[in-house]
């Protein structure tokens, strides 16, 4: 469904840079055959549902790294094709998992989850907003904390939701869903402000 936004040319595989036989998904047959779709994710409150495209592995990790570290925005279209919004969610709006303004500056002003949300919005017709949920406290890198309880403590109270979320069915957008501490905290804050339902759509996740 992202074919029109993909492959503006040169016709290279998004993962291995091979130039032959690239499909509409931007991949060569060899790389595509290594991707594994994610089995039904387990979800608990305050999240009301989770949709994950792919199991995290070497191939998708390469694409995510290029997207985030090398500022290759065209990878946003490639990765966003693995995001989905089930129709039964009856989503009102997409909300990218926010990053702190300082981190945004460190990343040369690219919020990668916003790029993903923009592509998904274009494909689904569901609007997206970066105003409804903001990061108000700089928390450093979650992945450097090994202990799940530590991660939860580190992130708690670091987001702020706008009262306009009241009654909305919201889909959080993220690239890699790992321990979930960040996303569950986002959902908690949104629900506190009266969001009717909060879901997560992520590109990839290690099996839980």
Write out the residues near Zn ion by the rule CB under 5 A. Answer: 13, 15-16, 18, 28, 31
Helix (H) / strand (E) element for 68: namely helix 58-69
Report, in Å, the least distance between residue 44 CB and Zn ion. 36
Nearer to Zn ion, 23 or 101 (CB): 23
C-beta closer to Zn ion: residue 36 or 107: 36
HSE toward the beta carbon, residue 65, CA cutoff 13 A: 8
Nearer to Zn ion, 16 or 104 (CB): 16
- Tell which phi-psi region holds residue 169, choosing left (phi > 0), alpha (psi between -120 and 50) or beta: beta
Kindly state the smallest distance separating residue 201's Cβ from Zn ion, in Å.
Answer: 25
Taking the complex as a whole, how short is the minimal distance between the CB of residue 17 and Zn ion, in angstroms?
7
Closest distance to Zn ion from the beta carbon of 32 (Å)? 8
**Of 13 and 99, CB closest to Zn ion:** 13
Which residues have a Cβ under 8 Å from the Cβ of 55 and sit 6 or more positions away? Answer: 35, 36, 37, 38, 39, 204, 205, 206, 207
Task: Work out the burial of residue 131: count CB atoms within 10 Å of its CB; fewer than 13 is exposed, 13-18 middle, 19 or more buried.
Answer: exposed
């Amino acid at each position: 469904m992202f074919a029109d936004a993909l492959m503006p040319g040169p016709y290279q595989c998004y993962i291995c840079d091979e130039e032959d036989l690239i499909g509409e998904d931007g991949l060569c047959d060899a790389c595509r055959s290594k991707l594994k779709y994610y089995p039904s994710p387990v979800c608990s409150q305050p999240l009301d549902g989770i949709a994950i495209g792919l199991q995290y592995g070497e191939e998708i990790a390469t694409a995510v790294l290029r997207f985030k570290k090398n500022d290759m925005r065209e990878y946003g279209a490639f990765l966003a094709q693995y995001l989905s919004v089930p129709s039964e969610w009856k989503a009102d709006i997409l909300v990218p998992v926010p990053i702190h303004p300082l981190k945004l500056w460190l990343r040369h002003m690219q919020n990668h989850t916003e790029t993903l949300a923009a592509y998904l919005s274009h494909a689904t017709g569901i609007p997206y907003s970066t105003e409804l949920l903001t990061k108000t406290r700089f928390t450093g890198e979650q992945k450097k904390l090994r202990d799940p309880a530590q991660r939860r403590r580190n992130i708690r109270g670091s987001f702020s939701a706008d009262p306009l979320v009241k009654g909305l069915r919201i889909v959080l957008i993220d690239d890699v869903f790992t321990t979930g501490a960040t996303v569950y905290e986002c959902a908690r804050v949104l629900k506190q402000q009266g969001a009717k339902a909060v879901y997560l759509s992520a590109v990839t996740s290690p099996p839980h």
